[in-house]
Amino acid sequence: MIQHRFEYRAPRTINEAVGILKDAGSDCAVLGGGTWLIPNMTFAAHRPKVVLDPKHLGLASISELEDEVLVGARATYADILRSQLVSTHLPLLASMASGITGGISITGQGTIGGSACYGNPSSDVPACLIALRARLRLRSTKGDRDVEATDFFRGSFATTRRPDEMLTAIILPKAIHSARWGYYKLKFSTGSWPIMTAAAIVEGDRARVALGAATAIPILSEATLPTNASADELGDFARFCAIVSPHEELADELAGPGYRRRVAHSIVLRALEQCRGAR
Ligand SMILES: Cc1cc2nc3c(=O)[nH]c(=O)nc-3n(C[C@H](O)[C@H](O)[C@H](O)COP(=O)(O)OP(=O)(O)OC[C@H]3O[C@@H](n4cnc5c(N)ncnc54)[C@H](O)[C@@H]3O)c2cc1C
């Protein structure tokens, strides 16, 4: 049970919502699926004075723009998995969503927007959004502000979202038809939290890899990779992607920096090897 008193607001318009955020600032928490927010309020680890529920604002839809797909901030992992647009144009995103653990209560309630705003470095979402060149659309009373995923994640549980802003959508360029992709995450068991993630996309001879949870912010690497790269060339590129600055290494209850450093190359390599088989 949540012990502290708070005001629950479920505005009918986006303007009303950003007005509430402007007035309340960091005293306000926007509710996504609540899979992190509600337990943390229950344990009194987070005590917002206002909870803003955007359920009436129509932010759960997934729609097609010309060369992009717009995923509403309140789209759940299940919505992503059901979406034909995602499976056709963003198979890497679908692959990531299919591996979220916790059963239907998490996949049916947890939102991609909530995960992005939470900024947990060992979540599946950050590296995936960076590899996919996503933009995050933030709304305040001043209007919309689009932030590249590479600039959005600023550290462990830290993003560039200001307290007066809410995330309304994530916009992702459609993958080109011939793109190949791979997603691999290291976990202790099927149901456990990822220790490290690697999201890879190969378009023609250009490869783009985001390595998650080696550091607080995913590491992005891009390079030219021959279309029929040999095992040695793939291994060299994987090693290049897995170089981690010792000053930024991540240590948490799942693994220390030494372990992460040792396995990083293999995680990237497995994602790259999947690219060979994908599509
Ligand atoms: C049992 C279990 C298993 C899990 N397994 C995985 C897993 O395998 N991989 C993984 O990556 N994650 C996993 N998670 C984490 C889960 O994916 C995240 O908790 C979830 O995505 C957060 O989304 P949410 O919609 O529930 O966010 P919420 O809990 O509602 O919110 C999280 C934070 O984001 C803020 N926020 C939410 N929406 C917005 C918005 N639109 N604008 C601004 N701020 C916003 C909230 O105020 C809060 O600070 C698991 C969680 C549980 C409990």
Residues 187 and 263 both lie in one domain: yes
**72 shares its domain with 149:** yes
Query: Would the pTM count as exceeding 0.85?
Result: yes
Task: Say how far apart CA 266 and CA 268 lie, in whole Å.
Answer: 5
Q: Could you tell me the two tokens for 272?
A: 């790259």
The answer to whether the CB of 146 falls within 8 A of the CB of 9 is no
Kindly report the CA angle at 156 between 260 and 125, in degrees rounded to 5? 75
| Domain identity same for 135 and 98 | yes
Q: Which residues pair with 219 in a beta bridge?
A: 211
Domain's final residue, options 120, 155, 173: 173
Q: Considering only CA atoms, which residue is closest to atom 46 of ligand 1?
A: 30
Mark whether 129 and 223 lie in a shared domain: no
pLDDT at 278 (0 to 100): 64
pLDDT tens digits, 84-143: 999 999 999 999 999 999 999 999 999 999 999 999 999 999 999 999 999 999 999 999
Domain shared by 159 and 237, yes or no? no
Tell me whether residue 246 is in a domain.
yes
Q: What's the structural domain count of the chain?
A: 3
Asked if residue 187 and residue 145 are part of one domain, the reply reads: no
Q: Report if residue 1 sits inside a domain.
A: no
184: nearest Cα among 259, 121, 128, 112: 128
73 lines ligand 1 (CB under 6 A): yes
CA of 61 to the centre of ligand 1 (A): 18
Residue 35 beta carbon below 6 angstroms from any ligand 1 atom: yes
79 with 149, same domain?
A: yes
Would 2 be classed as within a structural domain? no
Domain assignment present for 104? yes
Query: Do 209 and 200 meet the contact criterion of CB atoms below 8 Å apart?
Result: yes
Find the helix or strand (DSSP H, E) in which 7 lies.
strand 7-9
The owner of tokens 């012990």 is 3
Query: How would you class 187 by CB atoms within 10 Å of its CB: exposed for 0-12, middle for 13-18, buried for 19 or more?
Result: middle
Indicate the pairing of strand 50-52 with strand 7-9. parallel
Looking at residue 279, its pLDDT comes to 57
Please tell me the predicted confidence (pLDDT) of residue 97. Answer: 97
State the Cα–Cα distance between residues 4 and 272, nearest whole angstrom. 48
Among candidate residues 173, 197, 218, the one where a domain is terminated: 173
Amino acid at 121: P
| Structural domain harbouring 22 | 7-52
Closest C-alpha residue for ligand 1 atom 33: 118
Residues 66 and 169 in one domain: yes
Instruction: Calculate the CA 62 to chain-centre distance.
Output: 16
> Domain with 26 in it: what CATH number?
3.30.43.10
Which CATH number characterizes residue 217's domain? 3.30.390.50
Q: Is residue 57 part of a domain?
A: no
Is residue 153 domain-shared with residue 194, that is, in the same domain? no
Looking at the fold, whether 152 and 213 belong to one and the same domain comes out as: no
Nearest 5°: the CA angle 168, 42, 34 is 25
Q: Which atom of ligand 1 is nearest to the CA of 99?
A: 8
Tokens for 114, please give them: 């909530």
Q: Which of 41, 96, 111 to mutate to test the pocket of ligand 1 (most atoms within 8 A of CB)?
A: 111
| pLDDT at res. 106 | 96
Q: Quick one: CA dihedral 123, 124, 130, 135, positive or negative?
A: negative
258 class by beta-carbon count within 10 Å (0-12 exposed, 13-18 middle, 19+ buried)? exposed
**Ligand 1 within 6 A of 76 CB?**
no
- What CATH number should be reported for the domain holding residue 138? 3.30.465.10
- Intervals of the chain under pLDDT 50: none
Which atom in ligand 1 lies closest to the alpha carbon of residue 123? 11
98 within a domain of the structure (yes/no): yes
User: Are 188 and 243 within one domain?
Assistant: yes
Same domain, 154 and 81: yes
Structural domain contains residue 187: yes
CA nearest ligand 1 atom 3, residue = 102
Among residues 173, 196, 222, which one ends one of the domains?
173
Residues listed for the chain: 279
DSSP letters for 183-252: EEEE-SSTTSPPSEEEEEEEETTEEEEEEESSBSSPEEEEEE--TT--HHHHHHHHHHHT---TTSB---
Output the CA 29–ligand 1 centroid distance in Å. Answer: 12
In a domain, 124, yes or no: yes
